[in-house]
Structure formats: structure tokens, C-alpha cells
């Protein structure tokens, strides 16, 4: 019985981890958007899609535009 409970918890944690990753990607995406406006609004920069942020989990701003 405990085995089935633990097995269920293992599978239940995967969507939670994916949700956490998506939330972190969105946070970085929005921060990049704000940093671009604040630190280098004259720099032409096309922000990548959220999918890039989900894959990389890091800022996509050029180094010259980080505050």
C-alpha cells in the first residue's frame, strides 16, 4: 500500500516541477522586458519567445544591457 502511495507521489511531482520551471521562465522573461526598458531602451532587441526562456532558464538580454 505504501509503495503505491510513494509511486503516486513520484508521478505527481513531475507536473509540479514543470510548473515551477515555467514560472521561473516567466519571471526571467518579464525581468528582461523591464531591464531592457530601464537600462537600454535605445538598443534594438527582439525578445525571444517564452519557449526559449523555458529551455534556457536564463536572461536573454545582451551583456551590454544588464543593470
Per-residue tens of pLDDT for the chain, all 67 residues: 565 555 565 555 567 788 999 999 999 999 999 999 999 999 999 999 999 999 999 999 999 887 6
CA 3 to chain centre: 34
- CB-count burial class (<10 Å; 0-12, 13-18, 19+) for 6: exposed
Q: Tell me which residue has cell 521562465.
A: 25
Per the structure block, which three cell numbers stand in for 11?
508521478
Q: Tell me which residue has cell 531602451.
A: 41
pLDDT at 23: 94
d(CA 14, CA 66): 33
Amino acid at each position: 500500500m505504501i509503495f503505491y502511495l510513494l509511486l503516486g507521489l513520484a508521478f505527481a511531482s513531475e507536473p509540479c516541477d514543470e510548473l515551477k520551471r515555467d514560472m521561473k521562465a516567466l519571471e526571467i522573461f518579464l525581468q528582461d522586458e523591464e531591464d531592457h526598458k530601464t537600462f537600454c531602451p535605445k538598443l534594438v532587441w527582439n525578445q525571444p519567445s517564452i519557449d526559449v526562456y523555458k529551455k534556457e532558464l536564463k536572461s536573454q538580454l545582451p551583456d551590454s544591457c544588464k543593470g
